[in-house]
Structure 1
Amino acid sequence: MSTAVAVAGVGMHPWGKWGRPFVEYGVHAARAALADSGVAWSDVDFVVGGETVRNGYAGYVAGSTFASALGWNGARIATSYAACATGAQALDTARARILAGLSEVALVVGADTTPKGFLAPNAGERWTDPDWLRFRLLGMTNPAYFALYARRRMDLYGATSEDFAQVKVKNAKHGLENPYARYRKEVSVGDVLGSAIVSDPLHLLDICATSDGAAAVVLTSLDYARKHGLVDPVRVEAVSTVTPTFPNTVIDMPLLATDHAAGGAPERTFKESIAQAAYEEAGIGPDDVDVAEVYDLSTALELDWIEDLGLCKRGEAEVLLRAGDTTIGGRIPVNPSGGLACFGEAVPAQALAQVCELTWQLRGQATGRQVDGARVGITANQGLFGHGSSVLLAR
């Protein structure tokens, strides 16, 4: 059975700190995606909203919120929440209904309005919430968490602060031509290393900001696409949302160090499993990938994801970076959109924003940042506690 569905349209609201209701951003992106697809709102029979827990009751029922704001049309609705993987899991919900023959046209929308500063748990004591516990009891805020990853790369693979800074330099250059990016300014390695240290070894410019923004995708069945003149559309070939597999159940920190110390081969890490499931579902391998959009909450995390996606061997991401292979024009461009380095986090929207970017890339519409000849693209996102995702698109 084919797992493919057509990406009929994509749309975004520019990222920034606009201070407006998240619904406004989502409606803007949804209308842009509908216009891009040529599909009338009245033909949409399924709406999936990416939940935004910071935006009150309307955020908790985002599917209904967006359907209402666009105008009741009788569509079925669903709402998805999976932290940073929300958009991909919402996309998978829509894809599953289309593949089951229960829907022909689905609209997936994610939008967020974020507070100033780094993300933190909601107020109150929640002793069964691991996220609350790591913040409140351990002081393990997100930047400190990212710093552990960065220090691990340094210790295991010889990564340097200059390598991390070079990731920012690359992504900042990519984002210059992206009209939806919040930060559109070149930076130097010196700029990154001269910015404040937030959590050693990471500087302020190594870490993404929090942003307002939105993204939307219109999916259709392949039959619907053909009947309505969508010739050679970009296709979603796979969506992976796998969880860890026992005994390798350390979600965020791979067991490579202990595996090597014991003299054994490393287990497949959780993040590698996310990518592998997508490849297996699509019948496509990492050697077929032309472009990747990965989850660069920090510069060091981008390097981890390059390896997790199988785009190079473990410990070789810095080699690709230093050779220019991950920049536009290189062997495997990573984050041609500019990534979260240029966008910041708008949590329910960012996995969908990656799909928007890859759709434009595979159509040849990424003006000023186009990856020549791109036919296959992959995304990667990691939410909380097993909410990982990868979307594989092809044309």
Structure 2
Amino acid sequence: MSGEVAVLGAGMHPWGKWGRGFVEYGVVAAREALADAGVDWRDVGSIVGADTVRGGYPGFVAGATFARALGWQGARVASVYAACASGAQAIAAARAQILAGLADVVLVVGADAAPKGFFRPAGGDRPDDPDWLRFRVLGATNPAYFGLYARRRMAVHGDTLEDFAQVKVKNAAAGALNTNARYRKAVTAEEVAASAVVADPLRLLDICATSDGAAALVLSSMEFARRHGAADPVRIRAVSTVTPTYPTTVLDLPDIATDSASAVAPADGTFRASIARAAYEEAGIGPEDVSLAEVYDLSTALELQWYEDLGLCAEGEGAKLLHDGATSAGGRVPVNTSGGLASFGEAVPAQAIAQVCEITWQLRGAAGARQVAGARVGVTANQGLFGHGSSVVAVR
């Protein structure tokens, strides 16, 4: 298909708390991806960095920061910020450059050195920022709204704490097999239940940590891939970065505060579902074609929501899909074979790129003990702040 680009290389710096700077992590991941692709850095025509707002000025110009660290060689440079969807939007920018003929080979890098504890808005007071308002006006740190998601599922769909715990059990088992994961230990449902309550009803083991880490991809045109000897590479077929749809299209903060119609969600599904739907439509596939998925499991409850939003099951049937074993290793459509954020934690600019790394290794048949047999189509999903979201479809 004309919109496809090849994934020639994938690389990561293991997640954890290493006490070093994000640039060091990103360079490690970039060099690993270049080696995996068999491409010299001097042959890269463009580099796109996913920004980290916690990394000071170098983090706001991540593309240039990584280009400098790898060595000036004349490549185009771009930097992208979209909160938790930053990595996928960096992939989208790289793909656009390739399809426009501006570069044959593009390096995409995301890395973070996350502070310990709850994320908070960076850069001082921002009363026009919904994230800042959520923290200052509501006192709602991220786990607080994870808990609200969970309570809604319990009220609307009858999900239970035991359902949520089984998501952690599944993802921890996968993470135990992944050398890049921060947490590499299987857990039991009893251990989840015994962990401290952080934001009722979610316990410590129901939510993800904050981590250091990095991921990188080398993308190319299909023509370059063939010249390079990659006859059948993994291909990115779609990248969805759509915004929500609302009845009133001109949204500003006074309207949101005074006009309830401005903040009423559309009748045709959630924002998350629209992200996935746009990706499927662009790729020319449907949920029934998906071999595996990497989703944004900020909490165990949110993973169940993604099953439904990705169309892997009907609304309200996420817990049933889980208990049927469909999303586990060996199931119909394994989800978070990497171990997910449950096993990695959040390194915000890197996580959407890391998802595509996992899909790439799976589609190559190179995921080792985590391998999904016969994997041909993978989909990723992320939700970022302020209307940012992403979904990537990769095929082989």
TM-score by length of 1: 0.95
- Map 1:207-286 onto structure 2 (within 5 A): 207-247=207-247, 266-286=267-287
Cα RMSD for the two superposed structures: 1.4
4+ long deviations beyond 6 Å = none
CA contact (8 A) 1:26 1:216 kept: yes
For 1:20, give the aligned amino acid: R
Matched with 1:128 is: 128
Assess, with a 3 A threshold, how the Cα gap between structure 1 residues 123 and 90 changes in structure 2: closer, same or farther: closer
- Map 1:322-361 onto structure 2 (within 5 A): 322-361=323-362
Q: Secondary structure at the match of 1:11?
A: strand
Matched with 2:257 is: none
Matched with 1:148 is: 148
CA contact (8 A) 1:248 1:267 kept: no
In 1, Cα distance between equivalents of 2:180 and 2:326: 25
In 2, Cα distance between equivalents of 1:293 and 1:100: 28
Report the Cα offset of residue 150 of structure 1: 0.5
- Map 1:149-228 onto structure 2 (within 5 A): 149-228=149-228
Q: Secondary structure at the match of 1:381?
A: strand
Matched with 1:304 is: 305
**Stretch moving more, 122-131 or 31-40:** 122-131
Provide Cα deviations, 1:95-136, integer angstroms capped at 9, x if missing partner: 001001111000000000011111111263221111111101
In 1, Cα distance between equivalents of 2:167 and 2:99: 38
In 2, Cα distance between equivalents of 1:329 and 1:209: 27
Q: Secondary structure at the match of 1:326?
A: coil
Matched with 2:385 is: 384
In 1, Cα distance between equivalents of 2:312 and 2:53: 34
In 2, Cα distance between equivalents of 1:245 and 1:388: 13
Q: Secondary structure at the match of 2:314?
A: coil
- Map 1:33-182 onto structure 2 (within 5 A): 33-122=33-122, 124-182=124-182
Matched with 2:9 is: 9
In 2, Cα distance between equivalents of 1:388 and 1:75: 28
In 1, Cα distance between equivalents of 2:378 and 2:268: 26
Assess, with a 3 A threshold, how the Cα gap between structure 1 residues 148 and 28 changes in structure 2: closer, same or farther: same
Matched with 1:32 is: 32
In 2, Cα distance between equivalents of 1:248 and 1:227: 49
Matched with 2:262 is: none
Matched with 2:259 is: none
Report the Cα offset of residue 266 of structure 1: 4.5
For 1:103, give the aligned amino acid: A
Unpaired runs of at least 5, structure 2: 252-265
Q: Secondary structure at the match of 1:85?
A: helix
In 2, Cα distance between equivalents of 1:94 and 1:123: 28
TM-score by length of 2: 0.95
Matched with 2:255 is: none
Report how many residues are paired.
382
Q: Secondary structure at the match of 1:53?
A: coil
In 2, Cα distance between equivalents of 1:388 and 1:297: 14
